[in-house]
Structure 1
Amino acid sequence: MRVADNLNAALHGVLGDDPRAYLLGEDILDPYGGAFKITRGLSGRFPGRVLGTPISENAITGLATGLALAGDTAIVEIMFADFVALAFDQIYNCASKSVTMFGSRLPMRLVVRCPSGGGRGYGPTHSQSPMKHFIGMPGLALYEMSPLHDNRAVFAEMLERAQPCLFFEDKVLYTRRMYDVPSPFRWEADGGVARVWLDERPDCVIVAPGGMVPRALEAMRSLLLESEISCALVVPSRLYPFTAEVPAARAVVVAEESTAGGTWGSEVAQVLHRRLWGSLRRPVTQVSSRDSVIPAAAHLERDVIVDADDIRRAVKEALRD
């Protein structure tokens, strides 16, 4: 199953199980089924609960917040994660605050889906990974889609939290296969955290969000075959708050597609630096995209966005004597 099909099935499951669940977004109705075809089949099966909206991310998110305040379940599709900035006020000043500012905890079953990341040639304003702008916002949880996590389980967890959640979906994953882990590595997913490993005591641990999984696995296989370096990969479905257990190793590398500076990777690095200080040979290493807008030209885009070679070089540097 492709990741896109798994996500589509998860949305069918949410709306099928919950008669008070709504899905809102631009161009999500059949036959178009969304810019990336994730919502195909939903409006035909659930008429009246899958709502095509005007082009106003602020209004869509505000309407969804109102539905959640009234006790319904609301899922918003932002066509490109870049445009979630237009809904920042609704998320920052309304949805995230509404959980706790009325004297007692108010359940808010709200998920804002954000197709993110580059690698598709969409250029500077349709290719960004804006997770860092939402880190540390009280009442808001951040998740990221992964080829190692069943999206039905991830949606169940987000809705069970009963607080607003942002769900980032790296667009390059949509056509990837689920659970595609190369030999000889093993993998497991437990409690919202997926792990890929070969040895119980790896030389280096790579911590990465779901969109980085194919690149991290490519780097791990290259390091093993060419340099006999054994790495383990830790992939949390929930980015923030970050609570994933990370095995002790000589080095830890945190890889993400965002540009450096106040990022998710920075938050993870400081958490792990304190937690694993006794076993680390040097501070946690971060790998980020270049300090640049994302070009549309494929060869220039490849130079900006983190790839497997960047991760491989970072691991080797972290283990250098």
Structure 2
Amino acid sequence: MTAHQTPAPRVAEDLNRALHDAMSRDERVVLLGQDILDPYGGAFKITKGLSSRFPDRVIGMPISEQATVGIAGGLALCGNRPIVEIMFADFVTLAYDQILNFLTKSVSMYGRRVPMPVLIRCPVGGDRGYGPTHSQYLHKQLLGIPHLTLFELSPFHPCGPLLEEILSGDEPAMLFENKLLYGRRVHTGGVVDDLFQYDHLDPRGRVARISIGAPADGDVVVIAPGGLCERVLSAARRLFLTREIRCQILVPVQLYPLDLTALLPTLAGAARVCVVEEDVAGATWGADVARAVYERLWRTLRHPVTVVSSRHGVIPAARVLEKQVVVQADDVYRAIAEDIDA
């Protein structure tokens, strides 16, 4: 970066700006959550400045996720477009009844389609030393619910267009935000670093493809959500520099339903496919992606799909122990290297 270039915004800044733009663009957008009002501005400062600028549409809520999501559903029925901030995704379990039995079912259970445009934002993930009840991924608990779309923030997908697309819909959605991403910068201009470049596979830009040099068939195609980009990139760099194993990384911003159409040409040309997730193995997003890949490509797959997940167990608070449970770059490196050596 030259002296006169402005650095790309950090993901937290980009998301905050996207929320400001969304509320400025549409007076129906309201924001609900705990500790989101200024001067605090949310546990991760994502809502900073919003209550000062839109005092009537930013509502501080009591410590009841069930009540917050239920009120958001009522606001949606009245024609609003609510955004709910859950302070930590772990607490989504407290609102599960409202999500499963009210928001999603209301779309179709009354004999006519009912708009229910509620967006629930959830900081997720470990590697922050927050302990077992503030560090989990909850993809598996929300996967496969009719009328519920799952998204995850990515440094390769600007927050503004993503929020605009989600808020223009008429069904409930979850937006997972890996806490490690908040301090990372958004990637711009097609260049990641001195080794990796990226582009987008589909016209809407929902799937980013990171590759070494010009996109080409690699030894391994890795599919991972946005929160694991840095770890997967670290593993891919090491695989290339130490083993000359070339990885292509596919990062879908919409996790479920996942449309494989844009991914198929890249997947079809790969010798191996690896899916990386931070959830604990068992009925997970990674397993669902692997199933979908098998259904579409089983005639041409040359090797089984590898799924890399966190270890089975409660996430410890001690950082040194947490890294032994939560999936790390070394785990991705080892899984791919062992698969190739097998």
TM-score (norm 2): 0.92
- Give yes or no for contact 1:182–1:217 (8 Å, CA) kept in 2: no
- Which residue identity is paired with 2:219? D
Name the structure 2 match of 1:123: 131
1:56 aligns with 2:64: yes
Structure 1 residues 188-225: Cα deviation after superposition (integer angstroms, max 9, x where no partner): 23421111112411110000001000001111111111
Displacement, 1:319? 2.4
Q: Distance in 2 between matches of 1:43 and 1:188?
A: 36
- Which residue identity is paired with 1:197? S
Displacement, 1:102? 1.9
Q: 1:294 aligns with which of 286, 290, 315?
A: 315
Displacement, 1:13? 1.0
Displacement, 1:275? 1.6
Name the structure 1 match of 2:208: 194
Q: Distance in 1 between matches of 2:325 and 2:129?
A: 12
- Structure 1 counterpart SS, 2:298: coil
Q: Distance in 1 between matches of 2:252 and 2:170?
A: 19
Name the structure 2 match of 1:21: 29
Displacement, 1:317? 2.5
- Which residue identity is paired with 1:269? A
Name the structure 1 match of 2:108: 100
Displacement, 1:156? 1.7
- Report how many aligned residue pairs link the two structures: 321
- Structure 2 counterpart SS, 1:114: strand
**Structure 2, unpaired ranges of 5+:** 1-8
Q: Distance in 1 between matches of 2:159 and 2:85?
A: 15
Displacement, 1:279? 3.3
Q: 2:231 aligns with which of 200, 215, 218?
A: 215
Displacement, 1:160? 2.5
Displacement, 1:280? 2.2
- Which residue identity is paired with 1:22? V
- Which residue identity is paired with 2:210? V
- Give yes or no for contact 1:8–1:38 (8 Å, CA) kept in 2: yes
- Give yes or no for contact 1:143–1:166 (8 Å, CA) kept in 2: yes
- The aligned runs of 1:221-240 (5 Å cut-off) are 221-240=237-256
1:35 aligns with 2:49: no
- Which residue identity is paired with 2:239? L
- Which residue identity is paired with 1:135? L
Displacement, 1:95? 0.1
Displacement, 1:237? 0.6
Displacement, 1:131? 1.0
Structure 1 residues 87-119: Cα deviation after superposition (integer angstroms, max 9, x where no partner): 000000000011111222222211000101001
Structure 1 residues 161-183: Cα deviation after superposition (integer angstroms, max 9, x where no partner): 31000111110110111117222
- Which residue identity is paired with 1:139? H
Displacement, 1:314? 1.5
Identity of aligned residues (%): 53
Name the structure 2 match of 1:307: 328
- Give yes or no for contact 1:250–1:319 (8 Å, CA) kept in 2: no
Name the structure 1 match of 2:160: 152
Structure 1: 4+ residue segments shifted above 6 A: none
- Give yes or no for contact 1:223–1:312 (8 Å, CA) kept in 2: yes
**Structure 1, unpaired ranges of 5+:** none
Name the structure 1 match of 2:12: 4
Q: 1:140 aligns with which of 145, 148, 151?
A: 148
Displacement, 1:281? 2.1
- Structure 2 counterpart SS, 1:109: coil
TM-score (norm 1): 0.97
- Structure 1 counterpart SS, 2:331: helix
Displacement, 1:186? 1.4
